[in-house]
Structure 1
Amino acid sequence: MSKSRWHILRDGDTLTLCRQLPARFDVAARTVLPDGGRAAVAHQVRQDMWRALQNLRGFTPVVEVRRENGQLYVTAGGQMAGPIAKQVIETAIQDVLDSPKRRARWVAHATRRQVRPS
């Protein structure tokens, strides 16, 4: 089994998933989801964001998930090496976050991951 190359940082109610430290948001988009497993949501969002932006050279995804008032506040984006078209990239990320099909999958996955047998 290979070692994960992703850093998972936990600070209270905030979880950050990043490839490089320190995590940095050169571009970002935001959404709110129902409460569930933060790590599960972060990984699912990161995967879908990466699929949408995989041809963007120099992009390194970062996802932050913060639990507050029974909801998950998700910031998705990342670091860019070199010049960027910030508005275009942020719109592409927001499109990923606003997709009803993806959101339903993330919530279902996060709900399953949160319920663990005792």
Structure 2
Amino acid sequence: MAERNILAYFHAPEQAEGAAMKLRALRAIDVSVDRFGRYEGTGLRSVMNPYAGDFGSLGSLTQAAHVSTPDEGILIAADPAASGMSDGGGGGVTGLDVILAAVVDESIYEQALRVIDGAGGQV
């Protein structure tokens, strides 16, 4: 039997995990959920006071970026989102930073797409 690949984007990990559970119940061959961002890194691991704390750059503080050089930190801090004033502009899709990747049998492909759509995902 043929296999089909699906990449779907969600607003929240809970939505993607719910869809993943249903896809596994449908006997999907492989399903994974992950979060991604514009910059490398996993973000701050603890709460800190930016006035007293020691942080490398505005990019690491606001963008959850791993900043390896001062120049990189300056460039990331220049992003409009670093100010906290960005609305995502440009009319693009924003806030879809959770990805579900699945491999399903072709016989359940359409049903899998309906499961993802019902969970709030976008393919």
> Fold-level match, TM-score > 0.5?
no
- Structure with the higher fraction of residues in strand conformation: 1
Which one has a bigger Cα radius of gyration? 2
TM class by shorter chain equals 0.3 to 0.5
TM-score when scaled to structure 2? 0.37
TM-score under structure 1 normalisation?
Answer: 0.38
